[in-house]
Amino acid sequence: VSPRAARLRPVPARLLTGDPLDVAPRLLNNLLVRGDRVVRIIEVEAYRGMEDPASHAYRGPTKRNATMFGPPGRLYVYFTYGMHWCANVVCRPEGVAGAVLLRAAAPIAGLETMWSARPAAKRERDLCNGPAKLCQALGVTGELDGADLLRPGGPISLCTDGMAPPPEPAFGPRVGISVAAEHPWRFWVAGDPNVSAGPRGSAPMSPGC
DNA sequence: CTTTGGATCGTCT
DNA sequence: GACGATCCAAAGG
C-alpha cells in the first residue's frame, strides 16, 4: 500500500454486469469497503447460474438464492456448514442468475477491527484467506444479503483505488464443489500471500506451475 | 509443512 | 434425512 491515502471511487456498474466468467477476473485488485475496514480482492470464483450445476441457482429461484436473480452489483450472502457466511457479487441483469464468489482478500485498513473479528487468526494473511474468513473479518452476515455494493455510504461497497486487475491472473478449478469441478473458473492474483490454501491443503495451481 | 476429524444447522429432496 | 461454494485444532513428519 502506498504511504499516502489513495483516492477511492466506486466501481462502474458496467464492469460488474456480464458473464461471471468475464466479471470474476475483473474484480481482482478492487477494494471492499466496510466501515473502517478495507480489503483488496485477491481470489474469486465464477458461478454461472442456471447453466452451472455447481451454482446455488442451478435449479431455479428459491428463497435462499433470490438475490442472485436480482439486479447486478448486489451482495449475495449465504449461510453454509451450519456456521459460516460467504459472499458473492451478483453480476447478471435482473431475472438472470450469475455471481462471483469472493474467496480471499488482502487486509488494507482497519486491521485492528479485523483482528478482533477473527480471534482464530494467527498471521495477518489468515484474516481474509478464505470465503468465510473474509466475511468474518468484515463482519458480513445474512443481514447484508442484497446490499447494494455500488452505493457509496452503504454498509458495504465496492471501490477502486486505481490499481488495475492483473493482466494475466492465475486460474484453476473451483474449490469445494462436487459437480462441475472440471472447469477452471477460479481466478487469483498470482503470488499473493493471501490466496486461500484450499481444502485439505491442496495448493493453488497456476497455469505457469 | 501436511493430514484428519469434528463442529453445526438451513435448505432442498 | 442428507449434504454442503468451510474452518480450526490437534497430531504427525
Average of per-residue pLDDT across A181-187? 96
Rounded to 5 degrees, φ, ψ at A206 are -85, 155
Say if residues A11 and A30 touch (Cβ distance below 8 Å). Answer: yes
pLDDT at A202: 45
What's the pLDDT at A175?
Answer: 95
Q: What percent of chain A has pLDDT over 70?
A: 91
The answer to whether the CB of A186 falls within 8 A of the CB of A103 is yes
Whether the Cβ atoms of residue A79 and residue A88 lie closer than 8 Å to each other: no
Q: Output the pLDDT for position A201.
A: 39
The answer to whether the beta carbon of residue A200 comes closer than 7 angstroms to any atom of strand B is yes
> Model-level pTM?
0.94
Please, which positions of strand B sit below 7 A from a protein CB? Answer: 1-4, 7-13
Per-residue pLDDT, A152: 86
**Residue A208 pLDDT exceeds 50:** no
Asked whether residue A4 carries a pLDDT value surpassing 90, the answer given is no
Q: What digits encode the pLDDT tens for the residues A123-142?
A: 999 999 999 999 999 999 99
Q: Tell me, in Å, how far CA of A200 is from C1' of B4?
A: 9
pLDDT band at residue A5 using 50, 70 and 90 as cut-offs = low
Q: Is the CB of A69 under 7 A from strand C?
A: no
**A93, amino acid identity:** P
In the block, residue with C-alpha cell 473474509: A134
Contact A32, A61 (CB under 8 A): no
Which residue has its C-alpha nearest to nucleotide B2's C1'? A201
- Percent residues over pLDDT 90 in chain A: 89
Residue A126: nearest nucleotide (C-alpha to C1'): C7
pLDDT tens digits, A47-100: 999 999 999 999 999 999 999 999 999 999 999 999 999 999 999 999 999 999
Q: How many Å from the CA of A61 to C1' of B9?
A: 21
- The C1' atom of B5 and the CA atom of A202 lie apart, in whole Å, by 17
Could you check: is the Cβ of residue A4 within 7 Å of any atom of nucleic acid strand B?
Answer: no
What pLDDT is attached to residue A41?
A: 98
**In sequence order, what are the residues at sequence separation of 6 or more whose Cβ sits closer than 8 angstroms to the Cβ of residue A115?**
A121, A127
> Does strand C come within 7 Å of the CB of A3?
no
